Amino acid sequence: MSRCTQTTNIEVRHLRSDGGNGISNAIVLCKICNAAIGFYDKNNVKPEPFSQVVIEKALKKAENRCQCTCKIHGCH
């Protein structure tokens, strides 16, 4: 399974809009992969932002690299 190689223009996103704001619901994606994946749900519900602590933990866990492994959306 290949992983996106982007290390710039990355952001921490929620895996699920109703999954909370903890590290277990965070994923690091580059802007291209994030845009390819699309909205959280059909109503475009956007959850509250992550705290700075969760953002820093997510980036460290992802080694400051996009975590996308999906080629279905054509993002990489």
Tell me what pLDDT residue 63 has: 95
Rounded to 10 degrees, what is the CA torsion of 67, 70, 76, 33? Answer: -60
Q: How far apart are CA 75 and CA 31, in angstroms?
A: 10
pLDDT digits (tens, 9 = 90+) for 5-47: 899 999 999 988 888 899 999 999 998 888 887 655 556 677 8
User: Does the model's pTM come out above 0.75?
Assistant: yes
SS3 54: helix
Tell me what pLDDT residue 55 has: 98
Which residues fall within 8 angstroms of residue 13, CB to CB, at 6 or more apart? 26, 27, 28, 29, 34
pLDDT digits (tens, 9 = 90+) for 62-74: 999 999 987 766 6
